[in-house]
Amino acid sequence: MIAKIICYALNGLEGIPVEVEADVNKGVPSYDMVGLPDTAVKESKERVRSALKNSGLLFPMNRITINFAPADLKKEGAAFDLAIAISLLKASEQLLGADVKDIVFLGELALTGDIRPINGLLPILISAKSHGFSKFIIPAENAEEARYLGEAEVYPAASLSEVVRHLVGMQPIPPIEMKEFVPGRHRRASADLKYVKGQPIARRALEIAVAGGHNMLMSGPPGTGKTMLARCLPTVMPDLTFEEALEITKIHSVAGVLGEEGIVSERPFRTPHHTATTVSMCGGGNKIVHPGEISLAHGGVLFLDELPEYKRSTLEALRQPLEDGCITVSRAGGTFTYPARFMLCASMNPCPCGNYGSTDRTCTCTPAEIRRYRRKISGPLLDRIDLQVEVDNITYDDLTSEDSSEDSASVQKRVNAARRIQRARFEGSSIHTNAEMGEKEIQEFCTLTREGDKILRDAFERMKLSARARARIIKVARTIADLDASEEIQPKHVFEAVSYRLFDKG
């Protein structure tokens, strides 16, 4: 008898339906698998055999053929185990009366018959739902992840015998209750701007950066709280919408880094170490491509501490995703595109010893050393960082002062207001924030007054700004004007924008 069971394979963030067909025939006992299974899928033979036996079910001693369709797609991972087991049971007539049509089975089996969680459940569920499936049996440990799927019958099962009892109607599993998405439900309250002492200028730059979606670079001596400032970035960013949260959760689910909450409710903050390779940053792998740090930071912040310490090739690889908001990686197993729209926040010391430019401490670096240090960051990368700000040396008084600073929530309110203005401005286009403006939008939305233009001209001469700096200054000035709720870009906005350019000056 032949049985047909639906399962799902992942291709990037896209789920692809796979039919598992089992044929149990008379003949010399054998067990064959066809349809491009990889090693992990082939090994399921032994898992399925033991799981059936240990669940009190029979493993048919017949001639067994398992086929995966479509036959030309490579099947990888252990998520097919449950589907294979069910198809065998169905084909060997052990599931009489059970209706397995239109149910998607997902899960890895343990030898005891328990069902283990799988990676990438949410993207599979979302794809399957869009393909018209509405009944799912999933590992119980993945249940949280499925709670935000919306209208669908999702049955969490902890073991194979539970599934069998459910299917034959002996002991139905209650479907999981869906949850309403609440942004920031699982916020870890450790970072907040109110704990950042001093640093008025860096705080302001941070506000502007988030308001306009600009990338930012902080330069300052070691131990001045650059990292702490950066950690506050997600707390002032606008709350996640459900769609954003789902998209981020999909990526995290595929990468297997999803926490217990089942959904990402807070903007991600990723801090890859400076020894990170290009592959770990951008994504890659042997056959299937895992999302890299830039994709995990999608919708949130990618923080690169000590920017010049990163490998140059790794930094250069960031340029294209910074521009396009996604990354395409090609491997033997196929070509995968992952979203990667993140805010880049970087920090660096002004020189190798950290004291360059400080008036109270002497820098012991030679000019050549400083040059070499700064040259590690290429011009094209700096081009994509709109705000560059110096972080102050903290004094003892700052650390002990009682008056607490403004908290993240009030900064977030101003950011939200500025974002609202931008949403209205870019209505109907693919742009969301000022930082994404191209030359066309700049001309359309950022007309300078005659006075403002003269200021910029003077600034170029006096501060020897590079020509590329012009567009960035205008974009930042636009954001500052938005924060000020000002329709036109006034001279003071331009002046302030100019003050956030550190590395353009001669």
Partner 1 sequence: MYSSEEKAVIYAAAVKGMNNRAGLAFLRGEGVLRRLTREEEAATDAAIAALERQGMFLVTCLSKDYPELLRNASDPPLLLYGMGNRELLSRRKFCIVGSRKTPKFAMEAGERIARELAEHFTIVTGLAEGGDSAAIEGALPSGSLISVLPCGLDTCYPAMHASKKETIARKGLILSENPPGKGAAKWSFHYRNRILAGLSEGVLVLSAAKSSGALITANRAVDYGRDVFALPYSIGIEQGEGCNELIRSGAMLVTSAEDILSFYGIETKKKEKPVVEGDEGRILQYLREKGESHVASLAEDLGMRIFEASAALSALEIKGLATKTGGNKYAAL
Contact residues: partner 1, CB under 8 A = 198, 200-201, 204, 220, 350, 356-359, 362-363, 366-368, 371, 390, 392-393, 455, 458-459, 462-463, 480, 491-493, 495-496, 498-499, 506
Where does residue 313 rank: exposed (0-12), middle (13-18), buried (19+ CB within 10 A)?
exposed
Element (DSSP H or E) covering residue 21:
strand 14-25
- Least distance CB 310 / partner 1 (angstroms): 23
Where does residue 18 rank: exposed (0-12), middle (13-18), buried (19+ CB within 10 A)?
buried
- Least distance CB 484 / partner 1 (angstroms): 9
* Separation of alpha carbons 209 and 36, rounded Å: 48
Q: Which is nearer to partner 1, 413 or 462 (CB)?
A: 462
Q: How far lies 192's CA from each of 163, 195, 409, in Å?
A: 46, 6, 9
- Least distance CB 439 / partner 1 (angstroms): 24
Contact (Cβ atoms closer than 8 angstroms) between residue 232 and residue 415? no
> SS3 of 167, please?
helix
Q: Which is nearer to partner 1, 20 or 465 (CB)?
A: 465
- Least distance CB 458 / partner 1 (angstroms): 5
- Least distance CB 70 / partner 1 (angstroms): 59
Q: Which is nearer to partner 1, 371 or 423 (CB)?
A: 371
Q: Which is nearer to partner 1, 166 or 475 (CB)?
A: 475
* Separation of alpha carbons 475 and 459, rounded Å: 16
Q: Which is nearer to partner 1, 50 or 499 (CB)?
A: 499
- Least distance CB 436 / partner 1 (angstroms): 23
Q: Which is nearer to partner 1, 181 or 495 (CB)?
A: 495
- What is the secondary structure of 458-485 as a DSSP string? HHHHHHT--TTHHHHHHHHHHHHHHHTT
Q: Which is nearer to partner 1, 406 or 441 (CB)?
A: 406
Contact (Cβ atoms closer than 8 angstroms) between residue 8 and residue 73? no
Structure tokens at 345: 């926040």
Q: Which is nearer to partner 1, 278 or 393 (CB)?
A: 393
Q: How far lies 398's CA from each of 151, 196, 200, 223, 395, in Å?
A: 53, 10, 11, 13, 5
Q: How far apart are the first and last CA of the chain?
A: 79
* Separation of alpha carbons 226 and 230, rounded Å: 6
Q: How distant is the alpha carbon of residue 383 from its chain centre? A: 23
* Separation of alpha carbons 357 and 363, rounded Å: 8
- Least distance CB 496 / partner 1 (angstroms): 4
Contact (Cβ atoms closer than 8 angstroms) between residue 106 and residue 98? no
Q: Which is nearer to partner 1, 442 or 502 (CB)?
A: 502
- Least distance CB 506 / partner 1 (angstroms): 7
> SS3 of 33, please?
strand
489 DSSP 8-state letter: B
Return the bridge partners of 139, or none.
157
Q: Which is nearer to partner 1, 169 or 379 (CB)?
A: 379
- Least distance CB 495 / partner 1 (angstroms): 4
- Least distance CB 371 / partner 1 (angstroms): 7
